[in-house]
Amino acid sequence: MRLADKVILVTGAGGGMGRVAAETFAHEGAKIIANDYAEGPLEETVALVRNAGGEIVGVPGNVAIGANVQRAVAEGVRAFGRLDVLYNNAGIMPSEDTSVEETSEETLARVLDINLKGVFLCCKYGIPELLKTGGGSIINIASFVAVLGCTVPQDAYTASKGGVLSLTRSLAVQYGPRGIRANAICPGPVETPLLRKLWTSEDERNKRLRRIPMGRFGTAEDIVNAGVFLASDDSSWITGNTFMVDGGITVNYF
């Protein structure tokens, strides 16, 4: 087991890639602190992991609210005694986010609050516990759109994910000397509820599919497998990276 006895905080664990992350990390021997603001789905994740023999506590809360994040960290550490890995995965991609001219200030604020401030807060309150453990791994989920322009813009989302990449590099430099690694994963298009909500037709779907050299959309497992590697000691000299897991979409000129 590649993550034996590591304690991992997974945000957005109630659905999509976060749920698969919680299940996979537990299968690899980790103890999971699972967070989501959707309480029902979070409980389902907790049940799935427990039924498979894994160790998990669920702490509902919004990653954009500092007190909620503090509670998740505190309850997790109370349950398992330590914290080794932050898997900062919670994020939103609202369909009303388009170009700077069209996207409202309210949408911008909501997206930045969850996608960027949420990662910031998880690091703010998680890092002190990683330091007590003597080091650890921070894995921030960004997106391929953070490194590409797109003619179908989602400007608030893109800006939020670009911020995640910059923050990740800053953390890597600051905390490397104290044993903490920080890396970002940039998933390409993965068929989760988040993405399906945006496709209004089969044509919309196929337009994106044609851009992916590997000829298929990603799966949650494709992304989470990279997460297992970055959480494990196999990646112990890898920090500050922007890890593209995207079927080649970002190297496709045309």
Ligand X SMILES: NC(=O)c1ccc[n+]([C@@H]2O[C@H](COP(=O)([O-])OP(=O)(O)OC[C@H]3O[C@@H](n4cnc5c(N)ncnc54)[C@H](O)[C@@H]3O)[C@@H](O)[C@H]2O)c1
Minimum distance between the CB of residue 56 and ligand X, rounded to whole angstroms? 15
Check 37, 87, 125, 157 and give the catalytic one: 157
Minimum distance between the CB of residue 153 and ligand X, rounded to whole angstroms? 15
Residues that bind ligand X (CB under 6 A): 11-12, 14-18, 35-38, 41, 62-64, 89-93, 114, 118, 141, 143, 187, 189-190, 192-195
Minimum distance between the CB of residue 206 and ligand X, rounded to whole angstroms? 16
157 is catalytic: yes
Within 10 Å of residue 60's Cβ, how many Cβ atoms? Answer: 18
Nearer to ligand X, 38 or 131 (CB): 38
Minimum distance between the CB of residue 2 and ligand X, rounded to whole angstroms? 22
d(CA 119, CA 20): 19
Sign of the Cα torsion 101, 107, 113, 114 reads: negative
Nearer to ligand X, 37 or 120 (CB): 37
Nearer to ligand X, 30 or 42 (CB): 42
d(CA 115, CA 217): 22
Q: In the structure encoding, which two tokens stand for residue 245, read together? A: 């897991």
Nearer to ligand X, 24 or 62 (CB): 62
Among 193, 190, 194, which Cα is nearest to 223's? Answer: 190
Minimum distance between the CB of residue 67 and ligand X, rounded to whole angstroms? 13
d(CA 84, CA 230): 12
First to last CA, the chain: 41
Contact yes or no for 243/226 (Cβ under 8 A)? yes
Geometric angle at alpha carbon 228, from 245 and 66, rounded to 5°: 90
Sign of the Cα torsion 55, 61, 62, 64 reads: negative
Among 25, 18, 21, which Cα is nearest to 41's? Answer: 18
Nearer to ligand X, 54 or 91 (CB): 91
User: Catalytic positions, please?
Assistant: 157
